């Protein structure tokens, strides 16, 4: 890996709508050059948040100015609460008031919240504007910026109103990860290790050996993790863009995790990646109770999560009012539910995930009783 090129391009092969994920250091300072390949005009809208803007907005604007782009910039409040219908209404109203047209490119500069919000705004404004992702968190670089899922949260649950809308380009500048708090890096790492747990035992083994290096900001390990994750997701999205089948495997841990996030209030109390990490452990524990995989494999996953600082229990997270019925209520509103049946991604072993829509409710309820605080 020490001989890796300065940048790597991973293609999401969707025919005429194919696009590249460019991975490397220093990409924001060269964004104008990359944008020339996909933007139909020299007019762009940048959507970002206060935290990201303080580190990266000036660098992006400098690059775009050098390439003679005209820019409109919207800086939002950071945090999951920004991913709302109220913010979509305000953002699209501002874009229309500013005079965007169908050839104005929307650039999402930020993490998953900004990518989801700006992408959804691009999807619905004037029935579709060109869209570019510049993800600045590990979670966004390895997962949410790739594949075209855009959405906002509602009081009923996470990501329930949105659209499949593919970007024209993803610029994953690994330099941005150096400005992240350690907790955010760890939360993003949950989505990295997920790919190994789904269908790549070898990658999980690599994560066991290199996970700590990623959390310590080792550039070689981080670059490899981003590239491998993007290749894994790109392959699945190319095969099943709108989640009619195989793409659902990417939701390993999400049926549990989204329910935990909803009950925690979609805030900093429980980050998305933290909820997904414990959700993955729940999926493996449920698989073990259904005699699909061994207890040793479940403990192997738990041990790795503990080593890298991801949640291995709900201690300090769940409150006493968290009951199985409360969590099941959130699960029932999950967008993956079909015909009243909950959809889970379970595992026959590490690297052997599969889709299950027939989980016995009694077994699920017993698991929830065991993991929730007394």
- Structure confidence by residue, pLDDT tens digits, 277-335: 999 999 999 999 999 999 999 999 999 999 999 999 988 786 667 899 999 999 998 87
Strands 353-356 and 105-110: unpaired
Where do the H-state alpha helices sit in 125-250? 138-139, 182-199, 201-215, 219-239
- Domain 7-178, CATH: 3.40.50.1970
**DSSP code, position 247:** G
DSSP-based three-state secondary structure for 6: coil
- Rounded Cα distance between 249 and 82, Å, is 27
Q: Please return the burial class of 245, using the count of CB atoms within 10 Å of its CB with bins 0-12, 13-18 and 19+.
A: exposed
pLDDT at 27: 97
Q: Which part of the chain is CATH 1.20.1090.10?
A: 182-371
Low-confidence ranges of the chain (pLDDT < 50): 1-5
Residue 39's pLDDT is 97
Side-chain-facing half-sphere of 264: CA atoms under 13 Å = 22
Give catalytic residues, as residue numbers: 127, 149, 191, 233, 243, 247, 251, 254, 258, 272
pLDDT of residue 267: 79
Query: Within 10 A of 78 (CB to CB), how many other CB atoms are there?
Result: 18
Say which CATH topology domain 182-371 has: Dehydroquinate synthase-like, alpha domain (1.20.1090)
Global pTM reads 0.93
Q: Distance between alpha carbon 158 and the CA centroid of its chain, in Å?
A: 12
Alpha carbons within 13 A on the beta-carbon side of 260: 30
Looking at the chain, the domain(s) classified CATH 3.40.50.1970 span: 7-178
For 105, counting Cβ atoms within 10 Å of its Cβ (0-12 exposed, 13-18 middle, 19+ buried), the class is buried
CA distance 272 to 343: 19
């Amino acid at each position: 890996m020490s001989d890796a090129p300065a940048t790597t391009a991973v293609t999401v092969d969707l025919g005429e709508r194919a696009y590249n994920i460019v991975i490397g250091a220093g990409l924001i300072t060269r964004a104008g050059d990359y944008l020339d390949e996909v933007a139909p005009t020299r007019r762009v809208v940048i959507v970002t948040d206060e935290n990201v803007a303080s580190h990266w907005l000036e660098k992006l604007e400098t690059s775009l100015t050098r390439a003679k782009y005209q820019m409109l910039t919207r800086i939002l409040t950071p945090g999951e609460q920004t991913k709302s219908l109220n913010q979509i209404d305000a953002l699209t109203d501002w874009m229309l008031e500013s005079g965007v047209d169908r050839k104005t490119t929307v650039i999402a500069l930020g993490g998953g919240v900004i990518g989801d919000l700006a992408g959804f705004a691009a999807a619905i404004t004037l029935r579709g504007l060109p869209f570019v992702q510049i993800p600045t968190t590990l979670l966004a670089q390895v997962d949410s910026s790739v594949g075209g899922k855009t959405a906002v949260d509602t009081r009923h649950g996470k990501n329930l109103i949105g659209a499949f809308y593919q970007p024209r380009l993803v610029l994953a500048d690994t330099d941005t990860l150096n400005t992240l708090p350690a907790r955010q890096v760890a939360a993003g790492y949950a989505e990295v290790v997920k790919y190994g747990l789904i269908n790549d035992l070898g990658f999980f083994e690599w994560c066991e050996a290199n996970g700590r290096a990623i959390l310590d900001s080792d550039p070689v390990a981080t670059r490899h993790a981003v590239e491998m994750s993007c290749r894994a997701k790109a392959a699945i999205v190319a095969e099943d863009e709108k989640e009619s089948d195989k793409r659902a495997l990417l939701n390993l841990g999400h049926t549990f995790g989204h329910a935990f996030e909803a009950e925690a209030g979609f805030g900093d109390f429980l980050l998305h990646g933290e909820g997904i990490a414990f959700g993955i452990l729940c999926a493996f524990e449920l698989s073990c109770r259904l005699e699909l995989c061994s207890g040793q494999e479940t403990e192997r996953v738990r041990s790795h999560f503990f080593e890298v600082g991801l949640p291995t229990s709900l201690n300090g997270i769940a409150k006493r009012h968290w009951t199985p019925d409360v969590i099941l209520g959130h699960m029932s509103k999950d967008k993956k539910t079909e015909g009243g049946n909950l959809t889970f991604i379970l595992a026959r072993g590490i690297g052997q995930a599969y889709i299950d829509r027939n989980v016995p409710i009694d077994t699920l309820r017993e698991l929830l009783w065991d993991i929730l605080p007394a």
